[in-house]
Each structure stands twice: as C-alpha cells, then as structure tokens.
A and B are shown apart, each in its own frame.
Chain A
C-alpha cells in the first residue's frame, strides 16, 4: 500500500491540507515549472469527465510532465474484460503517478493498493473526489483569507452530493457554522449530522432559500438532479425553489463568495455571473493550482 496516494479527503490531516493550500498559492504565482520534467503521469479515465481531466492535464503540462492514458473505458482494454487490478498493475509499471477516474466506489483505494506508484483519485463513483474538495478549500481560503470560523451555506442536493459531504468533512477541522438549505427529500444524511454532533460542529437546517443567506461567507450551490427523485412530481415541486438570483444578493456580506462545483444547469441565474460575488469560474481555475500542489506532494517534489 502506498501512503503517498490521495484517495479520500480524510487521507490528509489538517496540517497537510494547509500545506497543500500554501503550495497551491505558490503554483498560482508561478504556474509554469519543470518539476515533472522526465516524469510520466498516467491519466486513466474509466468514465469521461472532461472538466476534471482537462484540469489535471493542464496541471501536469504546466509542470513539464508527460501524459499517457485514456479518456473513457471504451478505448481501453477494459472492453476486453481486463480487471482494474491488471490495468493498474500494468500502467503503474510505466509511469510515476496514476490519476484515476472510475465509476465503481472504492476502486481508487483498491488501485492505490495494487499500484507501485501513488494514485490520485479523480472521482470513484459516488464515493470520493478529494481534488475537488481541495480546490473548494483553496477557493474559500483565497477569498476569505482563512478557513477558520466561517459561515458556510450549502444549497441544493445535500443528500447525494459527494462534493458537499467531502467539503463538510474537510471544513470540520476549522470550526465552521454550517447552514444547509435543501428540500426534505435531499437533506443532509443522518451520518453527517451524527458526525457534526460528535465533533461539536454548529449547523442549522432550512428548507426556505431566502434572506438567511445574508449571514453567509460562502454560498455553496449544487444542482438538484432530476434522476434523484423517485416521484417526478416531487422534482417539479422543488426544482425551481433553489435558484439563486442576483437580487437575492443585495444585502449579503461584502466578503460573500458563491461557489459551485459545475456544471451548472439553472440553479444559478445567468445574471449572477456578472456579480463580483460570483466565484465559480475562478473556482474552476483554482483546480489547476490545487492539483499541481497535490501532484507535487504525492511525488515528494
């Protein structure tokens, strides 16, 4: 087993999170370097994810590394029935680092155990997506100047959204106050409420999306997905309730930033984009720096 791998956000201690964020800030100042010169990174995308893949490939390219791999499993030996174990073993012989996206939960942990080189999880089904969490943290850190004592509002699908769960776990190191705004059907799962109670983390739950956001430092929007609802009527009832419009931001704090893991559908009205509090596009760019820092850490560079 390789402990340089990043599979789950829990693999990082609080100190390691802060170390990676500081490193990301350095990469933001000087994104181009030759730290990965002479290194080969395997980018194994067993399911397509354009945004994450391009972000990783940009990070690797800016560090002077070479990329091998595939962009979906139809162009790999998986179609011939090769197991994840064999693919991982074979590829890890060729390269210095594996970046992996896979639809099956737990696949990244397993790959990190059979691989001879570190594995960075770029999403394993509904389980973990730690580099997304690190870029969310970096965006919060950069815009607020700190991660400590913030009011974090999360809106939308809090039940199935893995980005929400991982961000919650990671922020728990920093004494946050959470506000969860979601329809009853998509409220934050019990396991996380138990976690927060155990760790004395303050949280409030709301079903109304209104001027309570005036206290927010961070507004983390997510998409309410139609396929999550057993009853289509239930979806129709809630789909337009959790839409952020520009006029709702009038009395919000000056330091408020709006984050969204993207892709957005209609949950943030287009008129918000011009508001200086809208941060989701810069947030995506921060992903490149966060991933550069994560790669450097995995390879001890």
Chain B
C-alpha cells in the first residue's frame, strides 16, 4: 500500500472518515449525523468513483469520534458505509456499519394511522430484510420499506 494514489479528499490528522456512502445519500447522512450544525472541520467529496457503489461519497470529520448508536442511524440509508478512525494521520481502527436487527427511535413509521405518529411513542422496528433494508413496526405491524424510510 505504499503506492498510494492521490487522495480525492484531503487527509485529516485525527477524526473519522466515513467512506462508501451512496452518492445520493450524502446530504442525508450529513443531516442524520448533525454535521450541518457541527463546529468541527468537515470535508467531503461526492460522486467519486467506487467499484462497489458506482458513485460514492466520503466525509471526513476532524476530531470527531462517533458513538455506535449514532452510527447505527446511518446504516438505514448507507448500509455499506465504512468508518476509519484516524489518529495522527494513521488508520487506527476500521468499523463496518452493519444493519441492526432492531431499529429503535431512529426511523419514522410510514403508516399515518400508527400510534407512533399519533402520540409521543419511541418508534421500534424489527429489521425483516437487510438489503434493501425493510422495517416492520413493532406497534402497528406494518412494513416500512427502504424507499419510505424517514429519519427522525
């Protein structure tokens, strides 16, 4: 790995790199992680070439390390995302974002007649299909497919 090609988004000294985000979801990932309201320096690239995704996005956040439940949130829209934890320009840890078996308090049930859309109830879903991610509401038992997943 010595013959490194030129980086399309410049390196960070410390922080987190989120790679393999589907290009169309870049701005949603930014939203979900609250990066639009964050003081850290954030750099990103979009529509970069990717062997897996065709076109991908990458985000680098300086001096920021995520909790697992924060990262859980992006697995709903970027199930193949990979995280590199950077310390002193070196990758010290790699994390794969994996779809959870349960999704709690992150997504909205698409059934307007569901109790979770009527009262202040934490949403709970069982992940019944991982690709594409498909959720079954614990309360109304209706299916929310990946096209209709809305992040709270």
Contact = CB atoms under 8 A, between A and B. Distances in A.
B142 A105 contact: yes
Contacts of B111: 105
A104 B143 contact: no
A105 B139 contact: yes
Interface residues of A, number: 17
B117 to A, nearest CB: 9
A103 B115 CA distance: 10
B113 interface: yes
B11 interface: no
A128 interface: yes
B141 interface: yes
B143 A105 contact: no
B116 interface: yes
Contacts of A85: 119, 121
Given A105-B113, A105-B114, A125-B113, A110 B142 contact: no
A261 interface: no
B83 interface: no
Interface centre among B114, B118, B138, B139 (most CB of A within 10 A): B139
A106 B114 contact: yes
A83 B141 CA distance: 21
A104 B141 contact: no
A105 B119 contact: no
A125 B111 CA distance: 12
Contacts of B138: 106, 109
Contacts of B120: 83
Interface string A126-139: 11100000000000
Interface centre among A103, A105, A125, A128 (most CB of B within 10 A): A105
Interface in B104-138: 109, 111, 113-116, 118-121, 137-138
A291 B115 CA distance: 25
Interface in A84-120: 84-85, 103-107, 109-110
A63 to B, nearest CB: 30
B9 interface: no
Contacts of A106: 109, 114-116, 137-141
Nearest to A86: B119
Interface centre among A8, A106, A124, A128 (most CB of B within 10 A): A106
Given A106-B137, A110-B121, A84 B143 contact: no
A164 to B, nearest CB: 15
A109 B126 CA distance: 14
A33 to B, nearest CB: 34
B115 A107 contact: yes
Nearest to B111: A105
Interface centre among A8, A110, A191 (most CB of B within 10 A): A110
Given A105-B140, A110-B119, A127-B141, 15 more contacts: A8-B141, A84-B115, A103-B113, A104-B113, A105-B113, A105-B114, A105-B115, A106-B109, A106-B116, A107-B115, A109-B115, A110-B139, A124-B140, A127-B142, A191-B143
